[in-house]
Amino acid sequence: MLKGKLKLPDKAKRVFPDRLGSLVAGFDDKDEDGAGGSDLVFESGKELETFEPNEFRSELESEYEEKSGIESDVGFRQRSDKDGAGTVSASDVIAADERRSDLAFELSQKEINLEKLQRIASSGLPDGGGLRATAWKLLLDYLPASRDLWEKELTENRLKYAKLKEELLLSPSEFSRRKEVALSSKEQHADNDVDGPLRRHEISHEDHPLSLGKASAWHQYFQYTEIAEQIDRDLQRTHPDMKFFSAESSMSRKNREAMRNILFLFAKLNPAIRYVQGMNEVLAPIYYVFSTDPDEQNAANAEADSFCCFVRLLSGSVDHFCQQLDNSSVGIHSTLSRLSELLKANDEELWRHLEFTTKVNPQFYAFRWITLLLTQEFNFNTILRLWDSFLSNPYGVQEMLLRVCCAMLLCVKSRLLSGDFAANLKLLQHYPDINIEYLLQVARDLSHDTSSFHLPL
List the chain domain ranges. 150-179+211-313, 323-452
pLDDT tens for each residue of 354-404 = 999 999 999 999 999 999 999 999 999 999 999 999 999 999 999 999 999
Note the helical H segments in 292-395: 296-300, 302-314, 332-346, 348-352, 366-371, 380-392
CB 137 within 8 A of CB 286: no
CB 270 within 8 A of CB 23: yes
pLDDT band at 185 (very low <50, low <70, confident <90, very high): low
What is residue 221's three-state secondary structure? Answer: helix
How high is the mean pLDDT of the chain?
78
CB 92 within 8 A of CB 85: no
CB 75 within 8 A of CB 98: no
Q: 175 or 44, which is more confident?
A: 175
In one-letter notation, the amino acid at residue 312 is R
Give the Cα separation of 278 and 268 in Å (integer): 17
Q: What is the 3-state secondary structure (H, E, C) of 261-328?
A: HHHHHHHHHCCCCCCCCCHHHHHHHHHHHHHCCCCHHHHHCHHHHHHHHHHHHHCCCHHHHCHHHCCC
**What does the pLDDT average to over 172-177?**
52
- Measured torsion, CA atoms of residues 333, 362, 38, 447, in degrees rounded to the nearest 10: -80
Give the Cα separation of 118 and 103 in Å (integer): 10
pLDDT band at 199 (very low <50, low <70, confident <90, very high): low
Total residues belonging to the chain: 457
Give the Cα separation of 49 and 434 in Å (integer): 7
Q: For 323-452, give the CATH class.
A: mainly alpha
pLDDT tens for each residue of 123-148 = 999 988 899 999 999 999 999 999 99
pLDDT band at 204 (very low <50, low <70, confident <90, very high): low
Q: 271 or 27, which is more confident?
A: 271
Going by C-beta distance under 8 Å and a sequence separation of 6 or more, which residues neighbour residue 197? none
Q: What is the 8-class DSSP label of residue 146?
A: B
Going by C-beta distance under 8 Å and a sequence separation of 6 or more, which residues neighbour residue 276? 321
Give the Cα separation of 301 and 292 in Å (integer): 11
Q: What is the largest CA-CA distance in the chain?
A: 92
- Measured torsion, CA atoms of residues 351, 352, 356, 360, in degrees rounded to the nearest 10: -20
End-to-end CA distance of the chain: 53
- The predicted model scores a pTM of 0.75
pLDDT at 336 over 60: yes
Give the Cα separation of 346 and 451 in Å (integer): 8
What is residue 111's three-state secondary structure? Answer: strand
Give the Cα separation of 341 and 25 in Å (integer): 34
Q: What is the 3-state secondary structure (H, E, C) of 14-41?
A: CCCCCCHHHCCCCCCCCCCCCCCCCCCC
Calculate the CA 446 to chain-centre distance: 24
- Lowest-confidence region among 28-32, 100-104, 180-184, 395-399: 28-32
146 forms beta bridges with 111
Q: 200 or 379, which is more confident?
A: 379
Give the Cα separation of 181 and 161 in Å (integer): 22
pLDDT tens for each residue of 270-307 = 988 899 999 999 999 999 999 999 999 999 999 999 99
pLDDT at 22 over 80: no
Residue 111 backbone phi and psi in degrees, to 5: -125, 115
Give the Cα separation of 90 and 120 in Å (integer): 20
| pLDDT at residue number 222 | 72
> What share of the chain in percent tops pLDDT 70?
65
Give the Cα separation of 351 and 189 in Å (integer): 75
Residue 116 backbone phi and psi in degrees, to 5: -65, -40
> What share of the chain in percent tops pLDDT 90?
57
Give the Cα separation of 400 and 117 in Å (integer): 17
Calculate the CA 214 to chain-centre distance: 34
CB 67 within 8 A of CB 49: no
* E strands present in 133-204: none
Neighbours of 447 (CB within 10 A): 11
